[in-house]
Amino acid sequence: MTNHWTDLRTGLGTLAVSTFLIGTTLLHAQEAQPAPSLEQRLLEVRTELRLEDGRFGGSAAPVLTSAIAQARYVLIGEDHITREIPRFAAAVCDAMARDGLAAVAIEAGPEVGKFVSSTLGKPDRLARMAALTKKYPDSVAFQNVREENDFVSHCAETSRNPGFQVWGLDQEFLGSAGWLLDSVIATHPGPKAMAALTRMRAEERTAAAEAQVNGDPSKLLMMSANKDEVEEVSRLLKVEGTAAANKLWGEFVDSHSIYWKNMQRDPDSNGKRARLLKRNLLANISAAPASGVKPRVLLKFGDWHLYKGFNPLHQLDLGNFVAELADGQGSRSLHIAVLGAKGVHRMYAGYNRPERLEPFVMTDDKDYGWLKPLVENQVSGAWTVYDLRRLRFQKMGTLDAGLERLIYGYDLLVLVPELTPAEMVQ
């Protein structure tokens, strides 16, 4: 009598051996094939980008449009103060607006965000910014750049959202102590708090005059304020100040602490700043008007702030927070790095001083040497978009640590052949 179980086991054993042999043969065949080089991979994942009348053009257009459409949060990690990158960011706004754009989050303090929001749609928008920065020099980061201010205004207009907001998430800038003190004083706190604030305002004027002599920002009150005096004002405002006064003063305290730690070369300066960015983002999201539609947000910061995972400063910064937040919400974040191969930077030159222009080649910077193969393989005569998502978990030999961090920290890289400096609002 035939034992069917024995026959079945025997058949399965033969099949398993055959499958194993086939798999082994395929494995050896794959091992015999040399892995594509990094250069080959880069050519496979690159597309050509052109901005045509403010819209994406070239073979990169569908890559960008599809990726943006799927994301609730789009993050642009950039090189600062350029003409080209705000143009790209404006095109991103246009793409996001089709499905609802609620806010743009910027690398500036909350007071700057509120001020810019208050000027949107007004014909004297830039004149108002010029007046503010004349009264309080070096009190505004980046939104005193014409192209950056125009970009935010464009996003507000293209959103067609009457509730559109500008969220300033960062610490307030170096010269903002006078602005913040005047704003707190304007809330009319009690007599002891008012006396302490008035005294600090006089100290701020003296400090600004000292900084003006040679442009040294470390002389400014935001950097040099006595910690005991800052704590005294904090105690007095808790008793004699309004909620608005305490919020404004909290911005001074946070900013002062970050700059103080930075001057002491304390690595927690970067950590504290990253925590502030996250806290401010969460507060703005929580305060956003309830509408049944989840708000889409565009974030535009320096590229080191927006990595997923640890950034080059070894911080879990804003980009990582947004990636995790999106995951927890069941939505997506899209991280786009936008860098230039070369060009001219507009650089900070000291307190209340005109900026200096400085030519650069990005790969000459020790922090961006890893960019070399991407520059060498860029599209000729256009911008290049590298889809970094397609480079993950691929065999490409030993990668530079910075390049590997980019591949897993960003989804797309937009490489501009040459960046030109933007203009300051006058």
Instruction: Tell me: pLDDT of 63 over 80.
Output: yes
> What is the residue-wise DSSP string for 340-381?
ESEEEEEE--STT-PPEEEEEEGGGSGGGGGGHHHHHTPPTT
Global pTM value: 0.91
Q: Find the mean pLDDT for residues 396-410.
A: 94
The two structure tokens encoding residue 265: 């070369």
Render pLDDT for 206-256 as a digit per residue (tens, 0 to 9): 999 999 999 999 999 999 999 999 999 999 999 999 999 999 999 999 999
Residue-averaged pLDDT of the chain: 92
pLDDT of 270 strictly over 70 = yes
Kindly give, in sequence order, each residue whose CB lies less than 8 Å from that of residue 88, ignoring residues fewer than 6 positions away: 51, 76, 338, 414
pLDDT tens by residue, 381-390: 999 999 999 9
Sheet holding 73-78, edge to edge: 55-57, 46-52, 383-387, 412-416, 333-340, 73-78, 297-302, 103-106, 165-168
The pLDDT tens digits of the residues spanning 305-326 come to 999 999 999 999 999 999 999 9
CA distance 182 to 176: 10
Give the integer Cα–Cα distance in Å for 132 and 354. 16
The domain spans of the chain are 38-174+268-416, 177-263
Tokens of 86: 């705000």
